Structure 1
């Protein structure tokens, strides 16, 4: 199972190296990694996606706390979160595909950040499901290049689980349609 860890660290050189070293020594691969400044000066937030069962991840979190410069580690996998990724697609376009690709970008609220006679570059931000969906549709075309950030996440203070809400609303919408 994939787990999303949010780690607050003191912004000092070598912190990321120590974390990646810990993972490497224990045979873990980091599927996704995003690092940036946090809400306080001198503090960075690292969001990482790691595979493992619950027990293994708990042990990994304990090991992270033993490293210097680690302030907080939170497994946000099962918490209501706001999750975002950014991906850039450079797609080969022909005269026939140009209008479809522009329409597709509109549907997904993607930004056209570059266009030429032979290619279209789209910037897409959103939750991992949205990124996956547009990538599936674009795979029908010749993708020239892809650049993708790691996932970032913040816990929702409202405690509203939007994934659960989506499922509930879709179910209610369907049951509403079936009533005559």
Structure 2
């Protein structure tokens, strides 16, 4: 008896497509027809003119993602699909967070922003808007820290990612950094 040990997890797909009208609609339609949720989606020009890179985060087990990849390849204008989930990558997101502040806690909010190397992009008597760039874990961490002040609004771009040519895993780099300190 063979057991399926493949677990549902978040997969990061990097998809190169021809930059033509309707491509994103066809991809979204494929996901909708199959009942898939796209948790994060970022689209922009790639390194070649006329080509766009779509980075999406999709929950599923390995076999489901493999089937989804095969379906994506059947779509017109899809050039390449890579599941980069297990590949060492540079990952980034951009997030804007509007936080409630008072005269007494404003300095504390600014300090939290400084710790996370975030920038203050707007300030008023009762709010501070913070711009954060970093990996998805950093986004979760700063939101947890800012929640106690009262978050009024959040806007996130979704994850973008490129594979590391060095093939060095960032978890490995973090463990080395921890040993040095």
- Shorter-chain TM-score range: over 0.9
Select which of 167, 172, 177 maps to 1:159: 167
In the other structure, the counterpart of 1:8 is 16
**Residues 93-132 of structure 1 correspond to what in structure 2 (within 5 A)?**
93-132=101-140
What is the DSSP-based 3-state SS (H/G/I as helix, E as strand, rest coil) of the residue aligned with 2:105? helix
Distance 1:143 1:59 in 2: 39
What is the DSSP-based 3-state SS (H/G/I as helix, E as strand, rest coil) of the residue aligned with 1:96? coil
**Residues 1-180 of structure 1 correspond to what in structure 2 (within 5 A)?**
1-170=9-178, 172=179
Give the C-alpha shift of residue 167 in structure 1. 2.9
Give the C-alpha shift of residue 164 in structure 1. 2.4
Give the C-alpha shift of residue 45 in structure 1. 0.2
Number of positions where the alignment pairs a residue of Structure 1 with one of Structure 2: 173
Q: Where does structure 1 differ by over 3 angstroms across 4 or more consecutive aligned residues?
A: none
Give the C-alpha shift of residue 165 in structure 1. 2.4
Give the C-alpha shift of residue 173 in structure 1. 5.1
C-alpha RMSD over aligned residues: 1.1
Tell me, which stretches of 5 or more residues in structure 1 are unaligned? 175-180
Show CA shifts across 1:62-84 (max 9, x none): 00000000010000000000000
What is the DSSP-based 3-state SS (H/G/I as helix, E as strand, rest coil) of the residue aligned with 2:104? helix
Using the size of structure 2 for normalisation, the TM-score is 0.93
Distance 1:163 1:64 in 2: 30
Tell me, which stretches of 5 or more residues in structure 2 are unaligned? 1-8
Distance 2:50 2:29 in 1: 22
Distance 2:24 2:161 in 1: 18
